[in-house]
Homo-oligomer: A and B are copies of this chain.
Amino acid sequence: MTEYDYIREGDAIYRKSFAIIREESDLTRFSEDEAEIAIRMIHACGQVEAAQHFHFSADFVTSARGALKAGKPIFCDAQMVAHGVTRARLPADNAVICTLQDPRTPELAKAIGNTRSAAALDLWADQLEGALVAIGNAPTALFHLLEMLDAGGPRPAAIIGMPVGFVGAAESKEALAESRHRMPYAIVSGRMGGSAMTAAAINALARAGL
């Protein structure tokens, strides 16, 4: 068992990883709290260059942490996001909710003429006020969330908008950042994003001793 020379201690791996990221990445335009989140997101994708696409509204960290501290749920568009959240770190045993596999979702999707990822959000309504929303997969989910706000729906505390991909992802994140609802947001502009970066952002919010 001695052929491979590698670090076998989890904390040491984290420390070295974060040190490399701080060394190689340009985090100067972030606040200290935002930089912590950015580092975790870079860690999740293995690319220091990704940081140029990270954008936080000025009120994001405070609003998102406030929601977590107040015990509000975390709503996720995808199971991979939900399963990337380190539950033990959450400050108030917050619920982590994904309704994509809810049996009502396929019918809802037909009814509203949208994807299941978008329709799943209609099941969030009664707990959405003041919650943390994390969209890490589907642009349609992020667009639909903005539509729900337009329709006078409940207002989450903050939105992590990081859908990934080639159709609608960049546009949906731009729409969030430019929305007249002025929601506290964290986005990865352009095509990049995904469940790992999204979960990393949640874990970074949760970890810094709320």
Q: Which residues of A contact B (CB under 8 A)?
A: 1, 3-4, 6-10, 13, 16-17, 20-21, 43-47, 79-80, 82-84, 113-118, 139-140, 143, 146-147, 150-151, 164-169, 171-172, 175, 190-196, 199
B116–A10 CB distance below 8 A: yes
For residue A29, give the distance in angstroms from its CB to the closest CB of chain B.
21
- A148 to chain B: closest residue by CB: B1
Query: Chain B residues near A45 (CB, 8 Å)?
Result: 45, 164, 192, 194
Identify A168's interface contact among B6, B47, B165, B169, CB under 8 A: B6
Give 7 pairs: A residue, B residue, CB < 8 Å, sorted on A.
Answer: A1-B147, A3-B150, A10-B117, A44-B194, A45-B45, A46-B193, A84-B195
Query: Chain B residues near A118 (CB, 8 Å)?
Result: 8
A143–B83 CB distance below 8 A: no
B4–A169 CB distance below 8 A: no
B140–A8 CB distance below 8 A: yes
Please report the C-alpha to C-alpha distance between residue A187 and residue B192 in the assembled complex, in whole angstroms: 20
Identify A113's interface contact among B8, B43, B80, B195, CB under 8 A: B8
Q: Assess A172 versus B115: contact at CB under 8 Å? Given A1-B150, A194-B44.
A: no
Please report the C-alpha to C-alpha distance between residue A113 and residue B8 in the assembled complex, in whole angstroms: 7
Q: Assess A143 versus B4: contact at CB under 8 Å? Given A16-B167, A80-B80, A196-B80.
A: yes
For residue A204, give the distance in angstroms from its CB to the closest CB of chain B.
15
B151–A7 CB distance below 8 A: no
Query: Chain B residues near A115 (CB, 8 Å)?
Result: 8-10, 13
Identify A6's interface contact among B20, B143, B151, CB under 8 A: B143
